[in-house]
């Protein structure tokens, strides 16, 4: 069996390579991919060569040890088309999700796949990793009744997090993004207002919309390190900044003088490969996945798919995401 895989070969260069899969093991299944989702924030770091070259071991096995050439991606949805002799035939033709790079076929042990719940489409299921991330972010934010919140960045994870936060009885929820398309969708997702962070009076506008006060919490998910300064400046005394962005090798000077020194602001990193320590006694990955599936059914994020393209057009779509990100929210690769 042949498989076609998307390979990042060098900065701003990708290609589709064909290879032969190993023989199917007795305890394995063969999956034919139907769709896979691009994670535009993370994959742009890979595409541009901005990922750390010396990551070593990491709890996030997907991003550990990255080096060109590399396959990347973690949102494949497909159909089981063959089962090993020791695998129950009832799995044949089942729709499944897997944390796999973009490729047309792959072989896995059944313990490494997730069966799609009844009624969930492959397009919806492709959002599972980003929804799990959004659930994790909200757990780390830990919003309280009547709080004022600000979300910086309305890419797909930002929109999902805004949608979840909008379900809480917050006093106000303001978002910000560079691109009008995403700001418009943020309002539909439940933000009370959505601002352009590049505006000269952005901070003043944000405070006004937060009720004349700074935010109790700011979720920084823009992928832009400089946004941390806005987050710090717009967080009130003893508030919290939750950083969900992965900046890779991008750096920016932080303004930690002045008010910050006396502010007692918490700056907390949030990453989906682990569970908040205070919750780990009660929460597991499987419980969090259950919450994510239910959230996907409520929010129906497939409405944010702006492009569906054949995997062989990968070079064109990554170029578009690099040069004209304002035209996209979520891209799905389709496999003939």
| Domain layout of the chain by residue ranges | 2-126+300-334, 130-278
**Of 222, 11, 238, whose CA–CA distance to 137 is shortest?**
222
Q: What does the pLDDT read at residue 308?
A: 97
In the predicted model, what is the mean pLDDT of residues 165-189?
98
Q: Is the pLDDT assigned to residue 55 strictly greater than 60? A: no
| Dist. CA 333–CA 200, nearest whole Å | 38
What are 306-334's pLDDT values in tens digits?
Answer: 999 999 999 999 999 999 999 999 999 99
Q: Is the pLDDT assigned to residue 56 strictly greater than 50? A: no
Q: What does the pLDDT read at residue 193?
A: 98
Concatenated DSSP letters of 201-221: THHHHHHHHTTSS-EEEEEE-
The class (CATH top level) of 130-278 is alpha beta
Reduce the DSSP state of residue 233 to 3 states and report it. Answer: helix
Evaluate whether the domain defined by 2-126+300-334 bears CATH number 3.90.180.10. yes
Q: What does the pLDDT read at residue 304?
A: 98
């Amino acid at each position: 069996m042949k498989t076609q895989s998307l390979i990042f070969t060098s900065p701003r260069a990708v290609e589709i390579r064909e290879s032969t899969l190993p023989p199917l093991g007795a305890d394995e299944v063969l999956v034919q991919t139907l769709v896979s989702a691009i994670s535009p924030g993370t994959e742009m770091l890979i595409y541009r060569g901005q990922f750390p070259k010396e990551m070593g071991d990491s709890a996030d096995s997907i991003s550990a040890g990255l080096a060109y050439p590399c396959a990347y991606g973690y949102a494949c949805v497909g159909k089981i088309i063959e089962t090993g002799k020791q695998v129950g035939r009832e799995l044949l033709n089942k729709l499944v999700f897997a944390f796999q790079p973009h490729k047309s076929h792959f072989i896995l042990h059944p313990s490494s796949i997730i069966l799609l719940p009844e009624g969930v489409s492959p397009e919806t299921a492709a959002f599972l990793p980003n929804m799990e991330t959004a659930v994790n972010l909200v757990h780390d934010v830990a919003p309280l009744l009547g709080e004022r919140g600000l979300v910086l960045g309305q890419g797909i994870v930002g929109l999902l997090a805004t949608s979840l936060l909008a379900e809480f009885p917050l006093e106000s929820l303001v978002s910000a993004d560079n691109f009008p398309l995403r700001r418009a969708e943020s309002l539909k997702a439940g933000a009370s207002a959505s601002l352009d962070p590049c505006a000269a009076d952005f901070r003043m506008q944000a405070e006004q919309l937060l009720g004349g006060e700074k935010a109790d919490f700011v979720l920084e998910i823009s992928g832009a390190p400089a946004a941390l300064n806005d987050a710090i400046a717009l967080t009130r005394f003893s508030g919290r900044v939750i950083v969900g962005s992965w900046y890779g090798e991008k750096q920016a000077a932080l303004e930690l003088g002045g008010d910050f020194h006396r502010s007692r602001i918490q700056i907390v990193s949030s990453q989906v490969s682990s569970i908040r320590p205070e919750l780990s006694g009660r929460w597991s990955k499987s419980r969090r996945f259950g919450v994510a599936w239910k959230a996907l059914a409520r929010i129906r994020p497939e409405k944010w798919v702006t492009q569906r393209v054949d995997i062989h057009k990968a070079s064109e779509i990554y170029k578009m995401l690099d040069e004209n990100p304002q035209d996209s929210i979520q891209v799905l690769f389709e496999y003939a």
